[in-house]
Amino acid sequence: MLTALWELATFFQRTAPTAEASASFFYILLITSSLSQPAYLLTVLSIHREKRSLLLVFVPVLLRFFTFFFLTITFVLTPYGWSYLISPELPFEVGTAVFFGYLFGAIIILVELTRKARSAILRQKYVILLASFTIFQAIGFPLTNYFLTVNHDFPPLGGILQFLTFIAIGVAVMLKEPRIPSSIRGINSFQEVYLSFLTD
């Protein structure tokens, strides 16, 4: 939901008729994108942990929200809609550090889940999630944002990266463990086990 709101806000921020309207959607974009990162981390942490204390992952984002009050944002019309310049640098860098902290946290947890996976299929699922998150979110998203800041005519690719991430998640979810026939439980003979696979 947060990611969907983030992408909608990005679309309307780009296509807004005026700079003022673009600014309104930009602040929605800032809030939803900031909340999406701890939500990603919370989702990954929740795979093997179910504790209310996990909600503490949202605490660092409060620092990022605090930096918003010190940002000056200038909107620039480009061939791809409204872009923006952010200043001063220090509040922006603090917010960026929080952003990368969430990214690295999610990657570390995914690496740990991959390493401790109980089966080959489960490990394959985690590898897909880890690779897609690293390529599209941790590398692709910051890189394209950087290109946008140095060249306003650079096409915005965030939506494509999000779409590819969700495609990868869908592929991982669709991987299924092979079903073991229940009738082989309690069978000790290899021949009986083999025959049970042929006849079930």
pLDDT reported for residue 195: 39
Question: Tokens in use for 139?
Answer: 């590398």
What pLDDT shows up at residue 175? 86
Contacts of 125 by beta carbon, 8 Å cutoff, 6+ apart: 117, 172, 173, 175
3-state secondary structure of 187: coil
pLDDT of residue 178: 66
Q: What is the predicted pLDDT for the residue at 31?
A: 92
Measuring CA to CA, which residue among 145, 74, 60, 73 is closest to residue 104? Answer: 60
For 175-200, what is each residue's pLDDT tens digit? 886 665 554 444 444 444 433 433 34
The two tokens of residue 42 are 């919370």
Mean pLDDT score of the chain: 83
The Cα 122–Cα 99 span in angstroms is 28
Give every residue of the chain whose pLDDT is below 70, as ranges.
50, 177-200
Q: For tokens 């946008």, name the residue.
A: 148
The pTM score is 0.77
Write the DSSP symbol of residue 51.
-
pLDDT at position 80 is 86
The residue type of 174 is M
Distance in angstroms (rounded) separating the CA atoms of residues 91 and 87 = 8
CB–CB of 174/142 below 8 Å? no
**What is the reported pLDDT for 22?**
92
Determine the pLDDT at residue 198: 34
- DSSP track, 66-128: HHGGG-EEEEEEETTEEEEEEE-HHHHHHHHHHHHHHHHHHHHHHHHHHHT-SSHHHHHHHHH
Tokens 């996990």 sit at which residue? Answer: 54
